[in-house]
């Protein structure tokens, strides 16, 4: 079995609970109200992708003379950085469609969960191995958005289509990113220890993504709950 397939199968052991929270968000009857907050959290991830890749690139280059896996990670990051530039700007444009200004986004403090999601990767990269970042990316880019599902959300919620431009873009480019990542992993001479690093980083990412989506809907009761409370 390939390295990427083993990693994906490990992720799938924990993924069902994360997917339930993600589905609860996308199908929530009050999605229109929480969608701007979702885009803000998307922005928090997007604006850190290039800095994380640059940190992993520097850490990998420092090891690459004696570490062929680090050399492969450096090569992957160097190729992937240009593809990720300015994605955060696209999210700001989507937020503007919903009336959220760039100034208000710039002055907001992200939640501790968002800080934990991103901050953990700096720890794994700098203190363990830059390979860890690829476990994080496999969770975030391993299952790209589906354009047909986005169209259904737009029809159901009445949210403007222009507010989904970033996600329509990801529905296209993330498939290539996913395939490139998996091909890179499969070319690496990974040991069991390397595979453990990937899995631990991925598992932590799954848990924090689950928590992020849980927090998004926590304060919004479902219509059935609203009706019950009104009786």
3-state secondary structure the chain: CCHHHHHHHHHHHHHHHHHHHHHHHHCCCCHHHHHHHHHHHHHHHHHHHHHHHHHHHHHHHHHCCCCHHHHHHHHHHHHHHHHHCCHHHHHHHHHHHCCCCHHHHHCCCCCHHHHHHHHHHHHHHHHHCCCHHHHHHHHHHCCCCCHHHHHHHHHHHCCCHHHHHHHHHHHHHHHHHHHHHHHHHHHCCCCHHHHHHHHHHHHHHHHHHHHHHHHHHHCCCCHHHHHHHHC
For 34, the token pair is 């929480």
- The pLDDT confidence band at residue 225, using thresholds 50, 70 and 90, is very low
Assess whether pLDDT exceeds 70 at residue 227.
Answer: no
The reported pLDDT for the residue numbered 167 is: 87
118: Cβ contacts below 8 Å, ≥ 6 apart: 44, 45, 48, 52
Distance (Å, whole) CA 142 – CA 175 = 8
Burial (Cβ within 10 Å: 0-12, 13-18, ≥19) of residue 69 = buried
Residue 147: pLDDT band with limits 50, 70, 90: confident
pLDDT value of position 224: 40
pLDDT value at residue 219: 67
Percent above pLDDT 70 for the chain: 94
Q: Where is pLDDT greater, at 225 or 79?
A: 79
**What pLDDT sits at residue 221?**
58
Structure token digits, residue 41: 């959290």
Residue 220 binned pLDDT confidence (cut-offs 50, 70, 90): low
Q: What is the pLDDT of residue 226?
A: 38
Q: Between 168 and 39, name the one with better pLDDT.
A: 39
Query: Angle CA(74)–CA(75)–CA(77) in degrees, nearest 5?
Result: 65
Distance CA 142, CA 170 (A): 11
Domains of the chain: 3-218 (1.20.910.10)
């Amino acid at each position: 079995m390939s390295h990427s397939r083993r990693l994906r199968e490990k992720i799938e052991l924990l993924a069902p609970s994360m997917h339930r929270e993600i589905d609860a968000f996308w199908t929530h009857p009050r999605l229109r109200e929480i969608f701007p907050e979702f885009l803000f959290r998307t922005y928090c991830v997007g604006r850190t992708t290039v800095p994380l890749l640059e940190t992993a690139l520097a850490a990998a280059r420092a090891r690459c003379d004696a570490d062929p896996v680090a050399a492969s990670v450096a090569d992957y990051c160097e190729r992937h950085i240009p593809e990720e530039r300015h994605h955060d700007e696209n999210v700001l444009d989507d937020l503007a469609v919903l009336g959220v200004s760039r100034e208000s986004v710039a002055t907001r403090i992200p939640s501790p969960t968002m800080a934990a999601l991103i901050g953990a990767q700096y720890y794994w990269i700098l203190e363990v191995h830059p390979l860890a970042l690829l476990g994080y990316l496999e969770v975030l880019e391993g299952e790209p958005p589906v354009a047909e599902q986005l169209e259904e959300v737009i029809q159901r919620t009445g949210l403007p289509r222009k507010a989904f431009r970033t996600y329509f873009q990801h529905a296209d480019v993330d498939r290539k990113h996913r395939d490139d990542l998996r091909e890179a992993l499969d070319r690496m001479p990974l040991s069991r220890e390397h595979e453990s690093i990937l899995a631990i980083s991925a598992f932590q990412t799954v848990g924090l993504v689950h928590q992020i989506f849980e927090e998004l809907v926590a304060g919004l009761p479902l219509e059935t709950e609203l009706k019950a409370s009104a009786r």
